[in-house]
Amino acid sequence: MAFDAVALSNGIKQVQVVYNDSGQLTTEYQSHDGAVNVLTTPKVQYAYADGSNNSIRQTALVYPNGRELTYDCGTTNGLDDALSRVVSIIDDDSTHLVDYQYLGRGTFVTSTSPEPGIQWTLVGSSDDPDTGDIYTGLDLVGRVKDNRWHKAGTDLDRIKYGYDRASNRIWRENPVAQSHSAEFDKIYTYDGSHRLKDMARGTLNVSHTALTSQTFGETWNLDTTGNWSAYTRDDDGDLTNDLVQARTANEVNEIGTITNSVGSAWAQPAYSPAGNMTTIPQPKDPSKEYLATYDAWNRLVKLEEKVSSVLETVSTYTYDGRKFQIVHEEYTDGILEITKHQYYTDGWQNIEQRNDANTTPAQQYVWGQRYIDDCLLRDRSTDSALDERLYALQDANWNVDAITNPNGTVNHRFIYTPYGEHQLLDANYNITANNTKWTTLFMGREIHMESDLFHFRNRTVSTLIGNFISRDKPEYSLGTSAYALLHPLVSTDPLGEVPIIPIALAGGYLATQCICAYHRNNAISEYGGEYPNSDQLKCLNTATETLQKILDGGFPRFTEYPPHIRTKGGGYSQTYVTYCGALIFMTPSDIDCTECDGFINTIATLYHEDYHGSGSKHPDTYCEEARFLEKEVLPQCKTGIGPCKIAADCEAATRKQLKIAKDACDSGSTDDV
């Protein structure tokens, strides 16, 4: 319950929840005006299996207007059913809104919407020459390299990616744009700390090492905590900067000054004592400013602008006790134009909007299973109730690249700068107007069209300045600026708190945590507080990092592997837990591997333990270990890995371990080797 400022007895909005006997949420009443009335208050409902078939998984979602989505897990007693894996989301008119296919327990490889006949896929028609399997959308270490949306084989949106050894994206190719003679490929460079330094847009050469022509470019210099100290922009690709900007930041990483030596002057940001940006350069015209007001919980509640010395309201925002933004008022020339009432799932997904005092939906969203902001479609009322349907096509970082109608015809396309400034295009990549009022864009987040600021749930982002406009909580800042939008090309931050960085990029961080856990375990239990010696730790660190590079992305070639992704609930997949567990329970002798032979043995041991869990004696483990060594480790020997710097030594050590694993596989042994 939230109360007004006059009397704590005057409730102004309330959320009331109902649970079943298993403690699962079944009904969530969401009142935007006063206390809940269970007869009239809009509610979101959830249905679950009853447990008779050893499952209490969610089976349905009911919208405030009564629309019901069914989450289908396939044939009874089939594999998907046994794993509680959603294979279809079905509308209440029996339309399959999406059908999924998986690799392993939870890696999505296709997402098909039958109505428009469109499909997102990581699967090719033949084996990939680099990986040797049909998963052509993934590279050897599980990173997305070909993000393809097509209709009956004709590409609607397709983005190809290249990476360096640190898993930084170094190029982005757009073959569909090329087919329209549009130049929307991109190439990137990074500083020594793997932070984005330069982006150029145009047409990539065949080897993806440079542009043959350039149409746009940006550069950044970042200080030690990630603040922009310098920024340049070339708007037309003539290699002459149209904006040259210097910035200063204070000791708490607030922008101090913005000075343009080339280009028009920008409004200067200002902050409250709590660290909220109260004066914001307007994204649509940076020479002008918004004046922002925040509540006691540092949430943006009002935007104003000064027009002829008079303050005019631009927008206001209201939140409930869950921190969800439930009411959004938009103003034109200081006059209220529309009040949007938004209703959410318990997972903070906006599923229904009602305008003003209407009790019927103005629009509804359907969200997929792949990610919290996996936008499948939006239904919007134009001439009649929910008569306009648009499907979203998202890239590998969840930016909405295009939208299609129910016939699978592209309506609009969107292009982005790395920090999220966007441009609206028609199907042929020509600049056009937004006649659909589409708002799900950068990283799958919602733009407020009246201000061009993005709502990232807990906080707000200005893509113009490339930052959040309020501080992150200290525990979430990861040792950098509390305002920074970290690694925007490969990470997302759906909650506005913690960036979700793919395991390929975060491997070093995870390895450190595992080693710390290993230290902690030894200090308090089995080994009487003895720590591994420095050689052992060095070897463990190197072996862990090497294994990370090989297994990053969930090692999708092995079907038993779960995905290396963050789950919708924000937790890590089981593989993370198993992997760290394997390290924790290894003895010091297991990691004594300063020589090449021992190093390869450690990689094999780590993989062996990770595959079926620490202490497992599963015979198939050795077969998979053999495949792992042969297909993944052996090719790495060409350039040398870890202490095995000489290719011949590396190959000999790997083949030695490979023979051990193959012999155990052939004999069906259940004993540890």
pLDDT at residue 540, as a whole number: 54
**Is pLDDT larger for residue 629 or for residue 23?**
23
Q: Which amino acid is at 385?
A: A
Give the three-state DSSP class for 313: strand
**Is pLDDT larger for residue 94 or for residue 662?**
94
CB atoms within 10 A of CB 431: 9
In contact, 637 and 651? CB cutoff 8 Å: yes
Confidence band, pLDDT 50/70/90 cuts, at residue 269:
very high
For residue 390, the domain's CATH number is 2.180.10.10
pLDDT at residue 426, as a whole number: 98
417 and 533 both lie in a single domain: no
403 and 525 both lie in a single domain: no
Distance CA 311, CA 242 (A): 31
Q: Is the pLDDT confidence value at 479 over 70?
A: no
pLDDT at residue 589, as a whole number: 39
- Out of 155-169, 484-498, 518-532, 648-662, which region has the weakest mean confidence (pLDDT)? 518-532
Q: For 129-141, what is each residue's pLDDT tens digit?
A: 988 899 999 988 7
320 lies in some domain: yes
pLDDT at residue 478, as a whole number: 47
- List the Cα angle 136/141/142 in 5-degree steps: 55
80 lies in some domain: no
Q: Is the pLDDT confidence value at 502 over 80?
A: no
- pTM of the model as a whole: 0.77
DSSP state at residue 632: I
69 lies in some domain: no
177 and 286 both lie in a single domain: yes
Distances (CA, A) of 649 to 119, 610, 626, 646: 46, 25, 18, 5
Token pair of 575 as six digits:
């593989």
214 and 129 both lie in a single domain: yes
554 and 464 both lie in a single domain: no
Q: Could you tell me which of 220, 257, 263 has the C-alpha nearest to residue 244?
A: 263
Q: Is the pLDDT confidence value at 113 over 90?
A: yes
- Percent of the chain whose pLDDT exceeds 90: 63
In contact, 389 and 379? CB cutoff 8 Å: yes
Confidence band, pLDDT 50/70/90 cuts, at residue 526:
very low
Average pLDDT on 363-368 reads: 98
Q: Is the pLDDT confidence value at 386 over 90?
A: yes
Give, for 446, the enclosing helix (H) or strand (E): strand 446-448
568 and 621 both lie in a single domain: yes
Average pLDDT on 67-84 reads: 95
CB atoms within 10 A of CB 528: 8
Q: For 167-176, what is each residue's pLDDT tens digit?
A: 789 999 999 9
- Binning the chain into helix, strand and coil, the percentages to the nearest 5 are 20, 35, 45
331 lies in some domain: yes
225 and 184 both lie in a single domain: yes
422 lies in some domain: yes
173 lies in some domain: yes
pLDDT at residue 544, as a whole number: 57
Range of the domain at 538: 503-667
Q: For 333-351, what is each residue's pLDDT tens digit?
A: 999 999 999 999 999 999 9
H helix count then E strand count, the chain:
9, 37
DSSP string, 156-207: EEEEEEEE-TT--EEEEE-HHHHHTT---EEEEEE-TTS-EEEEEEEEE-TT
442 and 554 both lie in a single domain: no
Who contacts 298 (Cβ-Cβ below 8 Å, separation ≥6)? 274, 275, 276, 470, 471
pLDDT at residue 578, as a whole number: 35
Q: For 572-594, what is each residue's pLDDT tens digit?
A: 333 333 333 333 333 333 344 44
219 and 143 both lie in a single domain: yes
437 and 516 both lie in a single domain: no
Who contacts 501 (Cβ-Cβ below 8 Å, separation ≥6)? 486, 487, 490, 491
- Percent of the chain whose pLDDT exceeds 70: 79
pLDDT at residue 572, as a whole number: 31
Distances (CA, A) of 342 to 110, 338, 454, 463, 527: 30, 13, 16, 23, 56
CB atoms within 10 A of CB 50: 11
414 and 526 both lie in a single domain: no
85 lies in some domain: no
In a 10 Å sphere around its CB, with 0-12 CB exposed, 13-18 middle and 19+ buried, how is residue 196 labelled? buried
In a 10 Å sphere around its CB, with 0-12 CB exposed, 13-18 middle and 19+ buried, how is residue 639 labelled? exposed
198 and 327 both lie in a single domain: yes
Q: Is the pLDDT confidence value at 258 over 90?
A: yes
First to last CA, the chain: 60
535 lies in some domain: yes
Total tally of structural domains belonging to the chain: 2
Who contacts 636 (Cβ-Cβ below 8 Å, separation ≥6)? 546, 550, 650
